[in-house]
Structure 1
Amino acid sequence: MRVLLLTGSHPRHLYVVNKLAELGIVAAHVMEVREAFVPQPPANLEEIDRLNFIRHFADRDEAEQRHFVGHEKVQLEIPTLNVSLAQLNSEDTVKWIASQSFDIAISYGVHKLSNELLNVLPEHSWNIHGGLSPWYKGNTTLFWPFFMLRPNWAGMTIHRLSARLDAGDIVHHSVPNLDYGDKLHDVACKAVIQGATDLSTILTTTSIDQIVYNPQKGNGKLWVGNDWMPQHLRFVYNQYNNDIVDQFLDGKIPRIDPPIISALRNEG
């Protein structure tokens, strides 16, 4: 199975690229060069929120450097087109993709793809979403499970690419194991790693005609960028001191498990 990847440029995105490239199945790669990874706090925040903002994004950077060490770049030679956000859906990008030979397209960490670009992708085209759909669609979806005191709902969804955001039929849910000492960003990184592992297995053990697509059902939420505010960090860092996983594993937080869709139920 030959794969076209469309990804962002952060270490979490390149980790997935490198893991699939190691299998020799990546035919081509479109990489959207993303924004700076450690943002500056907004002006006029209260001191508690400014410090939490700095802590949150510094911790994210530290966790990603630790979990994704060596994945600051693509490690193997792959035909690659580097694009900016403005170039992502350009005519040149569409033509370049159309000139490549591949069986399946997978996006991860890129902005919304245009209908013109989607039209040159094959029937089997997937997106890797950082969040369990349909409950956590949209933005900041590995943060909200912690805010909702459901750290075991922090995971990844592989779903069919569609014009609607994170709404395509589901191929697979992936959730990491939680361990004592895991902080919010550790779980987010472990979710990416588990998702890459599961995707590698799916692509190397399943033929395209065996793929099962599951329509998204049930009540979910599309979390938009404006839903998140720096003040939400008070709950994670000041109320719980970022030890939500430990309290969850100790049984101090009630456990409700997500209804997982797995493409690997028959594995092993």
Structure 2
Amino acid sequence: MKVLLLTGSHPRHLYVVNQLAKLGIITAHVKEVREEFMPQPPGYLEDIDRTNFIRHFADRDEAERRHFAGNEEVKTEIPTLQVTHVTLNSSETIKWVKEQTFDLAISYGVHMLSKELLDVMPAHSWNIHGGLSPWYKGNTTLFWPFFMLRPNWAGMTVHRLTSRLDAGEIVHQSVPHLAYGDGLHDVACKAVMQVAEDLVQIIQNTPLREIPYVPQKGNGKLWIGTDWIPQHLRFVYNVYNNDIVDQFLDGKLPRMDPPIISALRKEE
């Protein structure tokens, strides 16, 4: 099998690249240089929200450095095209992709692909989405399960690439193991690590022709960027002090498990 990857440039994205590269199957990599990882708090915030904003993104940076240490760059020599948000769907990118040889394309952490770029992708083209679709489609989808007090719904979805955002048929979903002491960002990082591990197993053990594609049922929820505001952080940090996982594991929060679709689970 030969695989084309289209990913962002943050360590979480390059961690997935490095895990899959160990299989020796990555023939090409389109890397989109993403925005700065540490945003500045908006000037209009009250002190409580400014403090939470700084804490939230500092904690995210610390967690990602800890979980993805050593993945600041790709460790294997792979033909790579570096692009920006502006040039991701350019004619030059499309031409470069058409010149590569691959059976499977996987995107993770890039902006939405144009119809023209999707048209040069193979029949088996997947996206790794940080969130369980259809309930958490769109943006900030590893935050909202915590806001809803359902940390066990913070997971990842591998689905078929389509022109509709996070709406393609599902290949696989995964959720990480929750442990005492896990904060919001620990769970988000562990979700990425789990889906990378699962993808390695799927690619190693399942021929593409046997991959099941499961249509998404129901409309779910598409979370847009403007749904999230810094004041939402008060709930996670001031009400719960980021100990939602501990309270969940202690049985202080109601438990309802997500109906996971797994390409690793064989039907009886």
TM-score by length of 2: 0.99
**1:77 equivalenced with 2:77 (yes/no):** yes
Question: Could you list the per-position Cα deviations for residues 52-97 of structure 1 after superposition, in whole angstroms to 9, with x for gaps in the alignment?
Answer: 0000000000000000000000011000000011110000000000
Aligned to 1:91: 91
CA distance in 1, matches of 2:204, 2:77: 20
Q: Which moved more, 1:212-221 or 1:125-134?
A: 212-221
Distance in structure 2 (CA, Å) of the matches to 1:218 and 1:237: 32
Matching of residue 53 in structure 1 with residue 38 in structure 2: no
Amino acid in the other structure paired with 2:253: I
1:1-268 → structure 2 map (5 Å cutoff): 1-266=1-266
Quick one: which amino acid aligns to residue 148 of structure 2? Answer: M
Secondary structure, counterpart of 2:134 in structure 1: coil
Aligned-partner Cα distance in 2 for 1:24–1:155: 27
| SS of equivalent residue, structure 1 residue 149 | coil
In structure 2, what is the Cα distance between the partners aligned to 1:152 and 1:3? Answer: 31
SS in 2 for 1:4: strand
Structure-1 separation of matches of 2:87 and 2:250: 48
Inter-partner Cα distance in structure 1 for 2:218 and 2:100: 38
Q: Deviations over 1:228-266 (max 9, x none)?
A: 000000000000000000000000000000000000013
Q: Which digits, 9 at most, give the CA deviation of each residue in 1:27-59, with x for residues without a partner?
A: 100000000001000111000000000000000
Shift of 1:137: 0.2
In structure 2, the CA distance between the partners of 1:85 and 1:219, relative to structure 1 (3 Å rule), is closer
Percent identity between matched residues is 76
Task: Give the letter for the 1:129 counterpart.
Answer: H
Distance 2:88 2:130 in 1: 20
Distance in structure 2 (CA, Å) of the matches to 1:241 and 1:186: 14
SS at match of 1:13: helix
Q: Number of matched residues?
A: 267
Secondary structure of 2:86's aligned partner: helix
Q: Which amino acid aligns with 1:149?
A: L
CA separation in 2, counterparts of 1:133 and 1:18? 25
Residue identity in the other structure for 1:175: V
AA paired with 1:224? I
Partners of 1:243 and 1:218 in 2: CA distance: 31
Moved over 6 A (4+): none
SS at match of 2:251: coil
Looking at structure 2, the residues matched to 17 and 7 of structure 1 have their Cα atoms a distance apart, in angstroms, of: 8
Q: CA RMSD in A?
A: 0.8
Query: Which amino acid letter does the alignment assign opposite residue 52 of structure 1?
Result: N
CA distance in 1 between counterparts of 2:185 and 2:9 reads 18
Q: CA deviation at 1:219?
A: 4.5
CA distance in 1, matches of 2:26, 2:205: 16
